Amino acid sequence: MKPGFTSDNSNYYFNKKENVVGSVATQHYHNLFELYYMKEGKCNYFIHDRSYDVVSGDVILIPKGTIHRTNYGTRPHSRLLINFSEEFINREIFEEALALGSLFRNKELAPHIEALFEKIEEEYTRNDHITPHALKIYTEQLLLLMIRSGNMKKKEKDGNAIVEHTMRYIQENYMTDIRLSTVAKLMNVSAEHLSRLFKKETSFGFSEYITLYRLQRAEHVLMNEPGLSICEIAYACGFNDSNYFSYKFKEQYGISPSKARGGVSAPDFIVD
């Protein structure tokens, strides 16, 4: 990873992958808005609690703090993405972009989207005193193109009801002891069936998703509840062992919970 724009790269990041075969990205979330463009190929994109089949020409938009993951299987693909803070973009344009939803498909827009991404890449690499202003202009043009396109249609893959109910249960009960067998019984399916279905629809393992969601909640508590100890936060977010919580937190973010609370920033850019 070698960003060109470094004058304020906490606000903006550009990344490109071309002719990459396969790969499954690490499940993650970050504090930046993400705009992803599938130039060539196909993938499955899991966002929050839904799964999307993404093909060439599709655009994905992901709000900050949203758990997401890409799964390309063994297929070759080329994709472009940008991450940026909401403060980087005009507020009204940003809110209109959020209202667009997650997955959009309009083949007629593809050449125009790619042309704007080329300008963004060129400017990001140029990296001079004009770069932040140029990136803001090109990114807003890209969002306006999508917002103004009357023919743009959102196409979402129908989610599996059992998986959606399972994820909702996890999100509402993450602070408790959640067992696959218990949830499967609530869903009237076998534990084996729920495990396979959950993995198929989300690309996450059942326990893997629970841990990530608990870490996300713990990060929020760390930043907003200074009166709680690390141990108290761990137990409040469903971890039975504070040492295990600290281990998983550092594994996910690259820093310990205490350093995160102290203001040390974890890397925002985990490439999809």
Q: State pLDDT tens for residues 71-80.
A: 887 878 999 9
Residue finishing a domain among 119, 154, 189? 154
Amino acid at 22: G
- Based on the fold, state whether residues 57 and 182 are members of the same structural domain: no
Quick one: average pLDDT of 13-38?
Answer: 83
Burial of 99 (0-12, 13-18, 19+ CB in 10 A): exposed
Residue 143 forms part of a structural domain: yes
User: What average pLDDT does this structure show over 247-267?
Assistant: 77
- State pLDDT tens for residues 171-218: 999 999 999 999 999 999 999 999 999 988 887 899 999 998 999 889
DSSP letter assigned to residue 159: P
Per-residue pLDDT at 142 exceeds 70: yes
Residue 4 has pLDDT above 50, yes or no: no
Q: Are residues 184 and 167 both part of a single domain? A: yes
Q: Using one digit for the tens of pLDDT, what is the confidence trace for 22-34? A: 665 656 777 899 9
Are 104 and 186 members of one domain? no
Q: Cβ(135)–Cβ(85) under 8 Å?
A: no
Q: Return the structure tokens found at 94.
A: 């940003």
User: Residue 152 above 80 pLDDT?
Assistant: no
Within 10 Å of residue 265's Cβ, how many Cβ atoms? 12
Instruction: Grade residue 157 by pLDDT with cuts at 50, 70 and 90.
Output: very low
Q: Is the entire prediction scored with pTM above 0.85?
A: no
pLDDT of 252 strictly over 70? yes
pLDDT tier, 145 (very low <50, low <70, confident <90, very high otherwise): very high
Q: Which domain holds residue 80?
A: 12-154
Mean per-residue pLDDT for 216-244?
91
Split at pLDDT 50, 70, 90, the class of 6 is very low
Number of helices (H), then strands (E), in the chain: 10, 9
Q: Among the three residues 124, 154, 184, which one is the final residue of a domain in this structure?
A: 154
User: Please, are residues 159 and 50 in contact by the beta-carbon 8 Å criterion?
Assistant: yes
Q: Residue 204 is part of a domain; what is its CATH number?
A: 1.10.10.60
Residues 19 and 149 in one domain: yes
Q: Do residues 243 and 192 both lie within one domain?
A: yes
